[in-house]
Amino acid sequence: MSKATVIGGGFGGMAAALRLRAKGHDVTLVDRCPRLGGRAQVFERDGFRHDAGPTVITAPFLFDELFDLFGKKRSDYVDFIPLDVWYRFHFHDGREFDYGGTVDDTLSAIRAFEPADCQGYENLLAHSKRIFDVGFTELADQPFHSAGTLVKQVPAMARLGCYRTVWQLVSKYLKSDHLRRAFSIHPLLVGGNPFETTCIYSLIHFLERKWGIYFAKGGTGAIVDALERLMLETGIEIRTEATVASIDVSGRSARGIRLEDGDKFDTDIVVSNADPLHLYSKMLPSVDQSIGFRVKQKRMRQSMGLYVLFFGTDRQYPEVAHHTIWLGERFKELINEIFNGDRLPEDFSLY
């Protein structure tokens, strides 16, 4: 049985470990943190349990697949509960807009908010579906290891107008500035600027519409616990608090990993779910990387991080939906200062 080692215990690493195990490999997963989850960490403070990372699921079938590989049901491990209101927007002038539910629900909300944009929303949704059909259905599981692979997709992307930004695409169909802001926020969820990010990210809008938005009963940590349980049941070895110092390379193949404590794993397959820049700059020998690639690494611009406040409360707040976004008076100017400025803005929006 061939050996496979997975670096990183986030959702991607756990999924890779399970898929490798389903193919018959002897799998070991290593992670530097005390518990699995990667950016989906959970911490407890003063009796309160907090999800430190993502809080919703937008493609539940991807989790179902992992359990299906072993003839099991995800619902026996963790419950996914659909959200009625996907996003609740509070605008600076006191107006509110709830987005979610069925298409008819959304059209009713738009009709009450800005009747003239109902047809525009339907056109936006149709365009988002066309982008989804190419960007997600055809390309999401395809590797892009060369520029040639990407170039082949340029004609399709051009026909879909993906040279536009997300803001430009939304503005093409919606006239209300409030609704333009509401339907342009998706790139922000993945660290992108809607005024600079290609509208291929508008596929997220249709993705949400196709499968809905869910949260896990017990929080995102319950998904981590469910996947950890499945890995242990299927014979995957898990090593936490194990920091990888380097990946051993022979020729053009990874043949093992070395931990900071000196332990060494010889392996036939190495899969890394670690941060890409850390992987290439710290774990892999630079001698095996081209000069051009090393220059590219130094010029890479990482997406923004978040400043997050966690609150523990002794009551519920019915007016605050699972996803509630308070948008200040400034939008484009504020986003530009966040992404391109060098000082903290005087005002802010809140998610």
pLDDT in tens, 143-188: 766 667 667 777 877 887 888 999 999 999 999 999 999 999 999 9
Helix 118-132 with 166-173: angle, nearest 10 deg: 140
Distance between CA 8 and CA 18 in Å, rounded? 13
- Choose among 337, 232, 321: nearest CA to 21: 232
Residues 6+ apart with CB under 8 A from 331: 181, 349
CA count, 13 A, side-chain hemisphere, 102: 3
β partners of residue 269: 4
Residue 351 has pLDDT above 90, yes or no: no
Tell me how far the alpha carbon of residue 115 is from its chain's centroid.
Answer: 33
H/E stretch holding 5 reads strand 3-7
- Choose among 59, 35, 78, 14: nearest CA to 234: 14
More confident residue, 304 or 308: 308
Give 115's pLDDT tier (boundaries 50, 70, 90): very high
Task: Report pLDDT for 277.
Answer: 85
Give 252's pLDDT tier (boundaries 50, 70, 90): confident
The three-class DSSP label of residue 134 is: helix
Compute the average pLDDT of residues 220-225: 96
Residue-wise pLDDT tens digits, 13-29? 999 999 999 999 999 99
Domains and CATH numbers, the chain: 3-55+219-299 (3.50.50.60), 85-215+317-340 (no CATH)
Counting residues of the chain whose pLDDT is more than 90, the rounded percentage is 74
Least confident of 150-159, 236-245, 262-271: 150-159
Task: Report pLDDT for 77.
Answer: 98
Most confident of 156-160, 242-246, 345-349: 242-246
DSSP code per residue over 295-329: HHHHH--PPP---------SS--TTS-SSEEE--S
Task: Report pLDDT for 287.
Answer: 65
Task: Report pLDDT for 147.
Answer: 67
β partners of residue 237: 28
CA dihedral 328→330→331→334, nearest 10 degrees, is -100
CB atoms within 10 A of CB 138: 12
Beta-strand (E) ranges in 8-111?
26-30, 42-45, 48-51, 80-82, 87-90, 96-99
Residue-wise pLDDT tens digits, 24-54? 999 999 999 999 999 999 999 999 999 998 9
Place of tokens 């196709």: 210
pTM for the structure as a whole: 0.91
CB 205 within 8 Å of CB 176: no
Least confident of 198-207, 254-263, 301-310, 311-320: 301-310
β partners of residue 88: 98, 324
